[in-house]
Structure formats: C-alpha cells, structure tokens
Amino acid sequence: MLIIQKYGGTSVGTPERIQNVARRVLATQAQGHQLVVVVSAMSGETNRLVDLAHQISSDPIGREYDQLVSTGEQVTIALLALAIQSQGGQACSFAGHQVHIRTDNAYSKARIKSIDGSVIQKELQQGRVVVIAGFQGMDPEGNITTLGRGGSDTTGVAVAAALKADACEIYTDVDGVYTTDPRICPEARRIPKVSYEAMLELASLGAKVLQIRSVEMAAKYKVPLWVKSSFNEGEGTLVTSEEKDMEKVAVAGVAFDKNEAKVAIRHLADKPGIASQIFNTIAEANINVDMIVQNVSAEGFTDLTFTIPKSDLKKALKAVEQQAQKLGADKVEADEHIAKVSIVGVGMKSHAGVAARMFSTLAERKINIQMISTSEIRVSVIVAEQDMEPAVKALHAAFELEKD
Amino acid sequence: MLIIQKYGGTSVGTPERIQNVARRVLATQAQGHQLVVVVSAMSGETNRLVDLAHQISSDPIGREYDQLVSTGEQVTIALLALAIQSQGGQACSFAGHQVHIRTDNAYSKARIKSIDGSVIQKELQQGRVVVIAGFQGMDPEGNITTLGRGGSDTTGVAVAAALKADACEIYTDVDGVYTTDPRICPEARRIPKVSYEAMLELASLGAKVLQIRSVEMAAKYKVPLWVKSSFNEGEGTLVTSEEKDMEKVAVAGVAFDKNEAKVAIRHLADKPGIASQIFNTIAEANINVDMIVQNVSAEGFTDLTFTIPKSDLKKALKAVEQQAQKLGADKVEADEHIAKVSIVGVGMKSHAGVAARMFSTLAERKINIQMISTSEIRVSVIVAEQDMEPAVKALHAAFELEKD
C-alpha cells in the first residue's frame, strides 16, 4: 500500500518526538508499505518566526512573510529525514517547491492547484521514505507561498490525491473524532467511521481535529482519511464516503463554537434590497457571516439578526451601524455572550423528528434558543454562553451518543 | 553604481540590528545606487540548527543537513525585506535557489558554478532592493546545498561578479583589515588598501575577516572588495588588484594561527617514494597538510615534519603511526603547543632581506624557530605557543607596521 502520514507540530515538537515519528514511520514501512510523510513546523516554531516578523514590521504580510514562516517546516523535514537515517532507514526531504506543489499567489492562504508526483514516485521506487513540508507551495513565478495555519493537513490530502494513495493518516494529539468534546462531556465516544459530509460539518462547527479544506479535498478526490493519535496505537477515526451502515446512525456528534457574536438590526423597513445592502457592506469589510435570521414582517418592518466571528465584531458594527442608520433602522444590538451548539449526522436527513427532539431536549432544560439554522445533515442553535455546556451534555445524552 | 553589500551574522543578529541594516541599505540607495544585499543567518541561528541536528543524529551530514541549515539565511532575508518595506522602501528576498545560484553537489562545501543574474536585474530595474540568502545554492538536481561556514562572503562576491557590480562591500564587526590583531598588538593599524594576493595570504594565515574562497573569486573576476564595519561609518579596507603604490610597502601585515599541530616522523629511510606514501595516507584520511619540512639526509635516514589542523591530530596520528611502523621509522612525535606566525606583503618579493630581518628579529627575542615555509609574498615560521604573542609584537615593530 501507499500510505501518506501527516504529523502535526505537537507530534514533532522535540528531537525526541521526531525520533518517535521516525520509529513509527519505519515500522509502517517494514510492513511492506510505501511511505510519504508530511510534517508541520515544530510546535512553537511558527509563533517564534511570526514574533520575529512583528518585531520588524507592524504589518508583516505578503510574499516576505511566507518566505519567512515556510522555513519552519523545512527545519522539520530535514530533522525527520536525519532521524530516519540515524535509525537505519532511507529518507529524502522536500520543501514544497521541490516537489512542485503549485499554488495560486494568495500569500498566507494559497490554494494548491497541482502537485507533480514524479519526483516523489522516483524516490519511493528506490525504497526511500519521502518527507514533505506541509503548509507550503510555490506560485507560478517561483515565489514561496503558504496555505495558512493548519494547511499541513491539506498538503497531506493533496499529496495523497496526486499519488492516488491508499490512505492518508492524519496524526494528531487526539486519537480520533469524538461525538463531542470529552472535556465538556465525559461520556463522549470516539466515532470509528464518519462521512466526509458529516466531518465537514463537525470541522466547520468547531471540532478542531481536521482542517475544513483538507476534508473538502479528501471528499473531492475520495481519499480515505484516518485521524489517529501520534502518541498511542489506537484505531482512530476513518473519514470516508457515505456507506450503508452509516445511515443507521441518525446523529454522529454534537459540536459547539464559542467564537461567534450576534448582531441584530431592529425595526428595518421590510422591502427588497435591504438585506443585500447590509450584507454587501459586511462582505466589503471582508467579514464572514454565518447564520442569518430575518423575522416575519410586522407592519412593514422586520428584525435582521446574524452571527459573525467574535474577533470581527468591532469592524462589523462600524460597517453596519452607518448602513443601518441610512436605512432608517431603530438600532443595532450586539451580543458576544452566545454559543452555537449543533447536532451533525448524515443519517439525519432520512430521519424525521431529529430537529424536534433537539428543541424539546433543550426546552426540558429550560435553555432558550435564540436562533436556528439547519442544513441537510446539521441543526444548529444559538444559545446563551452559559447554556452551552448543559446543552451539549443534554443533547449527547438525548441522542444516546455514548452508546456504540 | 551597482553595489553588492554583504552583512554577516552579527550585523543581523537581532531585529533591531536588521532595522539598522535596512536603514544603511536605504541610505545607500537614496544616493542613487542600485543595491543587492547578501545576508548570513542571524548570529546563533546556525548553531541552534546544528545543535538540533546533533540531538537527532550522531553524524548529521549530507543533503538533509544542508536542507536544514539553509533555513537560517532564509529567515534573515525575509526579515530584512520586511524591515526595508517597513521603512518605506521596496525590497524582494530570494533564497539561493530562487536566483539560480547553481553549485556542484558537494554538500556543506559546495562551490558556486554559475548565477543567473536575470531575476535580480529584473527586480533592480523596478527600483527594488534585492535581498539574497548567502551561503547557499542548488545543485543540478534541485537539491539545496550550502557553501560551508563563511560562504556568505563567497555568495556576495559571486553575485557581484555575475552582475559586473561596481563594488562588493563586506560588512562585518571589524572596520577593516589590520596589520595584525589589535588584541595582541595595540599598535596594529588598519590597512587602507591591500592586494588580492596579500589578502589571500592573510586570510589563509588566520585573519578571519574574509573567507579565502571569496578573495580568490574576487581576484579572478576583479571585483573591488571593501571590508567595512556595520557598526560605524569608517572607510574600511579596499582589496583590489596590485597597484604601483602598493609596492612601496614591503610587509603589509603579521598573521598568526594557533590551530595547527606538528607531527614529526623520526629516522625514516631516505629513499624515493617514502614521502608520497606518508602523505597519501594522510590525504586518504581527508586531512589537509600545511607546512612540510624534510631534513637533509644523514646516513641514509631523515626526519619528516609537517603541520595539520589541531582538530585532525588524533585521526592523523592513527593513520600515520601504522604507516611509519611499516616504513621502519623510529617513532612519531606530536606537538599541539605550537603557533604559526607569518609576515605577508606583495612588496616582499622585490625586497631582499625581508626574511632575514624576520629571523634576526626573532633571534634577538630568543624565540626558537621550529619550521620555516615561504612563498613569494609570505614567510611563515612555527614557534612554541607561548612565543606567539612576543613574536607578533616584535615583528610588527621591526617592520614598522604602526606607521602609515
């Protein structure tokens, strides 16, 4: 089999841990597999570099910033290759540009356009472990680009797709995807298998195990994606295409997110074009809107409520307040003390009553629902921040997620 | 004018110093010059990386080692470009491979074969300061190579040669080339102008201001080379082709080196091929021999004495002792407590009596000369380690080097 393994910054955080990764890699190779390993920068290293940049410049962005931070992964690939060699194995390391990971030129958030697998294949055929720097690539002019934080997952999946690998294993400091965060709900259980779609919802709802773009790419190229722990030998979670036996499970997990804020514009004239004016203003400020709710019109007026990243609240209010005044709204209200709680599962779309059970569970706990948003495989609600933990626990129990 | 400036690790050792370099660069550009800046890794950074490698591998050499340590310069180029931008200038940084610095594939001691100046010229024409990573290049297969410690000087000169620059300025923590080390001889004087040949001898004899290869390359391509301080505005030393007014000076400087050890093989049969067998053995052990002295034969036997780097002494003795035994020598003696003291000057070759004056000066001080070696522009002697400082002082005074 051809296996891609990706190790994050914590897994390669010290020389000792790099030796551990080398051992694991060589053990896998000894089972007769071909191995490509994608690594992140050693934990702390990217922050060190970013800190240096901020000591130099108040606004260190663009080409030079990417040139700088990409060195973090280059250090790790060289050290891991040396570790594999010191344990008697054969290895060869490559920075992104050396295996022609072509990206667009959107510095710090570049997207991979293509990977030329020929360099990698040549090394694999000679029995070498190929070690590749995650998170980075090269634009058409030869400038070094980075994919943004967490981009190493995306590199792993992109390499797996380019090489048509049999599996892409993402090693991290947790041993799989859980029904919810065990720190909040001790009954949380590792999910052995989850669909790309459900994983995407879980990731976008705050489960930090996988980067959304890497899941999107895995889904697009049908790369079987494993989430495993680099510190133990657990089975992990397989993220794969939807299969029959998945449908039995209505709800796969409960996700939550405390990083959103709510903005409400009161008493807006309810006429065509109002919403587009508001949201164009927000888009121009480069702010991503998540949930949007518009009340039913009463006497020609309506309330418009939406959520945005908490970190963008000031910027959003500045943009919106002017606009709201112009449109004759009564006032703009903001609330940072909210949380989003979601139930996710591919099975949901064919199971009636899932949303109803969610709402009644929360009602029994006297938890007030401020906003609701649904997709085919997800129901999300906004609740007060202090209601988040009880809500997660109640929903985890109500949908019997602790059971296998 | 097109000026190449090279800044060493101390000059870019902190974010503050990088800002200072940016200021100096922009001031030079403001005078109407085009600027290419070559930088080393921040002081301490290369050691940090080497230390990491040694924690991973007992013998971290070859391709991966170069992949690792080359990141040091990449960090500096990005930071310097950011610093120039933050001061309102325009700058663009390039790793060695990005400006096609082609080398052979002798990892950690690669030699530059060619530089394609077109990328650099394009940026210069747009008014940008071009910042290039010293010390590194790329072999024909696209592997990253390094030139060995001090290789950033060589990069500076090579870029100057490729672009036919008007000057190459090497910024360091001393303000020029001195007649000898001021720490030993306070009368030491900065030399305003010195020939490539004399500079080569001075460098190879332990004056650490310039790397030998960079001087060789400057001589070959007739690049006017300035040694200047990055911490003050002094005039520095110009290293250039031999000119008429240089000939007036018989001796330009006194150099010394404490890093050699002496090996003597006693009572060797004096017949053809003996010396070649000994030195072949040493060459096979990859040890550079410096001075060699063979005594006049007495009764068919001779003594063979030579110096090697102190750090290679153990390895050399291991190689030589076996060989000497085979050849029937009496014994092999080693002495680590020696020093080499040399007088250097292009004028010497046309001035009779320079060597004689050196020997009589040392004799007056009762300093015993253990070995002698000469070239056209240099006389070197080996003395006991404790005689080194008095010898340097006496010679500096005898040749009146304190006078302008």
pLDDT surpasses 90 at B207 = no
**Top mean-pLDDT range of A125-139, A148-162, A230-244:** A125-139
* pLDDT attached to residue A351: 73
Do A120 and A52 share a domain, yes or no? Answer: yes
Do A59 and A151 share a domain, yes or no? Answer: yes
- Tell me whether residues A57 and B92 touch, CB distance under 8 A: no
Quick check: A93 and A78 in contact, CB under 8 A? yes
* pLDDT attached to residue A245: 59
pLDDT surpasses 70 at A149 = no
Q: What pLDDT, in 10s, does the model give residues B358-376?
A: 999 999 999 999 999 888 8
Q: What pLDDT, in 10s, does the model give residues A232-286?
A: 888 899 999 876 655 466 788 999 999 999 999 999 888 878 888 889 888 888 8
Q: Are strands A34-39 and A129-133 parallel, antiparallel or unpaired?
A: parallel
Do A17 and A164 share a domain, yes or no? Answer: yes
* pLDDT attached to residue B403: 86
CA gap B157, B207 in Å, rounded: 18
Q: Which helix (H) or strand (E) holds A137?
A: strand A136-138
CA gap B261, B244 in Å, rounded: 38
Among A121, A140, A173, the domain boundary falls at A173
Q: Which residues of B touch A95 (CB under 8 A)?
A: 67, 144
| For residues B287-311, average pLDDT | 87
CA gap A365, A394 in Å, rounded: 8
State what percent of residues in chain A have pLDDT above 70: 96
Measured CA distances, A187 to A403, B31, B327 (Å): 9, 71, 81
Single-letter code of the amino acid located at A251: V
Among A173, A202, A218, the domain boundary falls at A173
Facing residue for B74 by CB, picked from A19, A67, A91: A67
Q: Which residues of A touch B92 (CB under 8 A)?
A: 63-64
Nearest residue in B to A51, CA atom: B15
Measured in angstroms, the CA of B328 and the nearest CA of chain A are apart by 41
Do A299 and A363 share a domain, yes or no? Answer: no
Q: Which residues of A touch B67 (CB under 8 A)?
A: 74, 77-78, 81, 93, 95
Q: What pLDDT, in 10s, does the model give residues B314-350?
A: 999 998 998 898 888 989 999 999 999 999 987 777 7
Do A325 and A343 share a domain, yes or no? Answer: no
Nearest residue in B to A22, CA atom: B56
- Tell me whether residues A142 and B57 touch, CB distance under 8 A: no
Measured in angstroms, the CA of A75 and the nearest CA of chain B are apart by 5
* pLDDT attached to residue A130: 98
Nearest residue in B to A52, CA atom: B15
Q: Which helix (H) or strand (E) holds B61?
A: none
Do A64 and A161 share a domain, yes or no? Answer: yes
Do A15 and A94 share a domain, yes or no? Answer: yes
Going by pLDDT thresholds of 50, 70 and 90, the confidence category of residue B149 is low
pTM for the whole structure: 0.82
Q: Which residues of A touch B84 (CB under 8 A)?
A: none
Give a yes or no: residue A39 inside a domain. Answer: yes
| For residues A158-176, average pLDDT | 94
Helix (H, G, I), strand (E, B) or coil at A81: helix
Among A285, A314, A335, the domain boundary falls at A335
- Tell me whether residues B95 and A57 touch, CB distance under 8 A: no
Helix (H, G, I), strand (E, B) or coil at B58: coil
Give a yes or no: residue B92 inside a domain. Answer: yes
- CATH number (domain holding residue B169): 3.40.1160.10
Q: Which residues of B touch A82 (CB under 8 A)?
A: 53, 56-57, 60, 64-65, 68
* Rg for chain B, CA atoms, rounded: 23
Domain count along chain A: 3
Give a yes or no: residue A217 inside a domain. Answer: no
CA gap A181, B103 in Å, rounded: 53
Do A357 and A269 share a domain, yes or no? Answer: no
Facing residue for B49 by CB, picked from A53, A75, A98: A75
Residues 6+ apart with CB under 8 A from B381: B340, B341, B342, B358, B359, B362, B369, B370, B371, B372, B373, B391
Going by pLDDT thresholds of 50, 70 and 90, the confidence category of residue A328 is confident
Facing residue for A58 by CB, picked from B81, B86, B91: B86
Q: Which residues of A touch B143 (CB under 8 A)?
A: 98
* pLDDT attached to residue B206: 61
Q: What pLDDT, in 10s, does the model give residues B376-398?
A: 888 999 999 999 999 999 999 99
* pLDDT attached to residue B337: 96
**For chain A, what is the mean pLDDT?**
91
Q: What pLDDT, in 10s, does the model give residues A338-374?
A: 999 999 987 777 777 888 899 999 999 999 999 998 8
Closest CA to A24 of A237, A236, A229: A229
- Tell me whether residues B56 and A142 touch, CB distance under 8 A: no
Number of CB pairs, chain A paired with chain B, less than 8 A apart: 108
| For residues B282-305, average pLDDT | 85
- Tell me whether residues A56 and B79 touch, CB distance under 8 A: yes
- CATH number (domain holding residue A322): 3.30.2130.10
**For chain B, what is the mean pLDDT?**
91
| For residues A190-195, average pLDDT | 91
Do A27 and A144 share a domain, yes or no? Answer: yes
Give a yes or no: residue A271 inside a domain. Answer: yes
**DSSP codes joined into one string, B194-242:** EEHHHHHHHHHTT-TTS-HHHHHHHHHHT--EEEEESSS----EEEES-
* pLDDT attached to residue A129: 98
Give a yes or no: residue A12 inside a domain. Answer: yes
In this predicted structure, which of A204-208, A209-213, A250-254, A284-288 has the lowest mean pLDDT? A204-208
Give a yes or no: residue A250 inside a domain. Answer: no
- Tell me whether residues B68 and A49 touch, CB distance under 8 A: no
- Tell me whether residues B71 and A75 touch, CB distance under 8 A: yes
Do A295 and A370 share a domain, yes or no? Answer: no
Give a yes or no: residue A290 inside a domain. Answer: yes
Q: How many CB atoms lie within 10 A of CB A325?
A: 11
Do A161 and A55 share a domain, yes or no? Answer: yes
Do A329 and A366 share a domain, yes or no? Answer: no
* pLDDT attached to residue A206: 61
Domain that holds residue B42: 2-173
Give a yes or no: residue A179 inside a domain. Answer: no
Nearest residue in B to A92, CA atom: B64
